[in-house]
Amino acid sequence: MSTAIELIDLYKSFGSTEIIRGVNLAVEQGERHAIIGPNGAGKSTLYNLITAKYLPTAGRIRLRGEDVTGCPPYEINRMGLARSFQVTNIFPRMSVFENVRCGMLWAMNYRYSFWRDVDELDDVNARSRQVLEDIGMTSRADVPAGVLSYAEQRALEIGITIAGGADIVLLDEPTAGMNRSETDHTVELVRRITENKTLIMVEHDMSVVFGLADRITVLVYGEVIASGPPNEIRGNPAVREAYLGEEVD
């Protein structure tokens, strides 16, 4: 197996505060990888570094062996990496269908085309309907995304993320703020859509993490204290200590 994403000696500071302190991490292709850690461990910062929302203070990021440190987000996306957002980040004034469609236009090679009618791009529209089907939102296709319920917006968020068919998918707390059944539904959805893909996710919910991930990385105060398959992480005393008070089972 080859490496999908590799982080080398990654540092990130905001002002004088060091958030990420020398992270080394390699995620294999086809792996479902979860990043966990207590509040303030720097999970979201790390996530935003990988997806190029933030620039690292030091260190390199490699995408399939290629150095992408400092590339703008759209170039990283074009290389086959898609991300979701923790705070729902959709196109609120466009319909659900259009949200998903916008997620795939570049990936399906229509780029900056200003001579084709979007309604006549049969491949795009068929795939958009397929994605809506996958995320269970076919009946809401024509609704403005801004008026969807929270859980629906989260689902749409994932829909936009996977629309382009990227083979490296990053999800930021996909089940945040959901009740049990919504969470189960989302886990099922994530499992389905990341079949044969590389998944990196940041998640709080331990049942989600242990149910989905092949490997888990534990981040505490900006440093990786453990990384391995779920069983190993579960028994790791350092992890238990870091999670004192939070149950790991």
Partner 1 sequence: MAVANTAAPGRSSFLRRNAIWWAALVLVVLLPQVARSGTAIAVLNQMCIMVIFSLSYNMLLGQGGMLSFGHAVYFGLGGYFAMHLIQLAGGAGFFMPLPLTPIAGGLAGLFFGLLFGSFSTNRAGTVFAMISLGIGEMIAASSLIFVKFSGGEEGITADRTDLTPFFGHRFGSEVEVYYLIAGWMMLSAWLMYRFSRTPLGRMANAVRDNPERAEFVGYSQRRVRLLSFMAAGFFAGIAGGLFALNYEIVTEETVNLVTSGIVLLQAYIGGVGFFAGPIVGAVVYTLLQTLLSNYTEIWAFYVGLIFVATVMYAPTGLTGIIMMHLPIYRVRKLRTLALPYLKVGVPALCCAIGVIGMLELLHYLSVRAVGQSTKRLFWMSLNVEQPTPWIVFGLLAVGGFFVARRMAPALVAAWEAASAQAQGRGER
- Give the interface with partner 1 as residue ranges (CB under 8 A): 51, 53, 72-74, 77-78, 82-83, 85, 89-95, 97-98, 101-107, 110-121, 125, 141-142, 144, 146, 160, 163-164
Question: Minimum Å distance from CB 14 to partner 1?
Answer: 18
Question: Minimum Å distance from CB 122 to partner 1?
Answer: 9
**β-strand 32-36 against 198-202: which pairing, if any?**
parallel
Spatial strand order of the sheet with 223-228 comes to 81-83, 168-172, 198-202, 32-36, 215-220, 223-228
Which of residues 119 and 247 has its CB atom nearest to partner 1 in the complex? 119
> Nearest 5°: phi and psi at 129?
-65, -35
Task: List, in order, residues 6 or more apart from 123 with CB less than 8 Å away.
Answer: 108
- Give me the residues paired with residue 35 across strands: 202, 217
Tokens read off for 16:
């004088």
Question: Minimum Å distance from CB 109 to partner 1?
Answer: 10
C-alpha span between 224 and 29 (Å, rounded):
20
Determine contact, residues 124/107, Cβ cutoff 8 Å: no
Question: Minimum Å distance from CB 211 to partner 1?
Answer: 26
Determine contact, residues 10/61, Cβ cutoff 8 Å: yes
Question: Minimum Å distance from CB 220 to partner 1?
Answer: 28
Question: Minimum Å distance from CB 243 to partner 1?
Answer: 31
**β-strand 81-83 against 3-14: which pairing, if any?**
unpaired
Which of residues 107 and 189 has its CB atom nearest to partner 1 in the complex? 107
Determine contact, residues 145/130, Cβ cutoff 8 Å: no
